[in-house]
Structure 1
């Protein structure tokens, strides 16, 4: 098994809506079982308790994007289930089982397809594409206008 720092995590509610989770800390462990299974542990603020309790009670897989090691890395797509929630005074720990989903569509293609579907064109499309790509990769924009 190999352990990595969990740099960022987002829950994908559908193709357009995603919820970024503010991590205090997190680890992601590759089980190296030839089935692309991972173990994900996050240390979070209790404000996420309702969300993860609901996901745990549903006992169904949900989609995630996880970024390993550095926020500038491209996120990986996973299907996950909540294994356990440990409540503490002001924080909580969430343990999840994840399955790495390898698809041929990369992050840039997903972002571009969503923007085209929204009807963006020309300079507006380019500007929003760069903005969303940087946002999803956790890169702070320092150039005015992206």
Structure 2
């Protein structure tokens, strides 16, 4: 098994934008079981328990986007199920298991499609595209023009 630091976590509901889930700490583990199975554990504030309890109750796989090791990495898409939710004072630990699925569209394509749908074009499209791409990759922007790694 190989363990990696989890640095970004989002739940994808239907076709809407991913819901970022702030967390305190997290790991993602490649089980190396020949079935492409991964474990994701996130330690987060208890206010997020209803989201994961509902997903656990449905017992269906759901889409998760995880960023591994470095915020500048593109998020990986996963299909997971919630295995357990453990309460710890004012926090919870959520354990999920699933598979990384190949993305049919890359991050840039998703961002661009959303901006085109909003009707942006020309220089405004380019500026907002760069801003959103940097934001999703965890790169801080200064005055929306100059980018500085954070």
Unpaired segments ≥5 residues, structure 2? 146-150
Per-residue CA deviations over 1:74-109 (Å, capped at 9, x if unaligned) read: 110111110000011111100000210113421111
TM-score normalised by length of structure 2:
0.91
Counterpart position of 1:136: 136
Note the C-alpha offset of 1:65: 0.8
Unpaired segments ≥5 residues, structure 1? none
Counterpart position of 2:102: 102
TM-score normalised by length of structure 1:
0.93
Cα RMSD for the two superposed structures:
1.2
Cα distance in 2 for partners of 1:32, 1:111 equals: 32
Counterpart position of 1:87: 87
Question: Is 86-95 or 6-15 further displaced after alignment?
Answer: 6-15
Instruction: Answer whether contact 1:16 1:114 (CA < 8 A) is retained.
Output: no
SS of 2:41's equivalent? strand
SS of 1:74's equivalent? coil
Note the C-alpha offset of 1:120: 1.2
Question: Does 2:2 match 1:2?
Answer: yes
Residues 1-146 of structure 1 mapped to structure 2, 5 A cutoff: 1-142=1-142, 144-146=143-145
Instruction: Answer whether contact 1:80 1:96 (CA < 8 A) is retained.
Output: yes
CA 1:145–1:135: 2 relative to 1, 3 Å: closer
Cα distance in 2 for partners of 1:125, 1:99 equals: 34
Note the C-alpha offset of 1:16: 3.6
Question: Is 63-72 or 111-120 further displaced after alignment?
Answer: 111-120
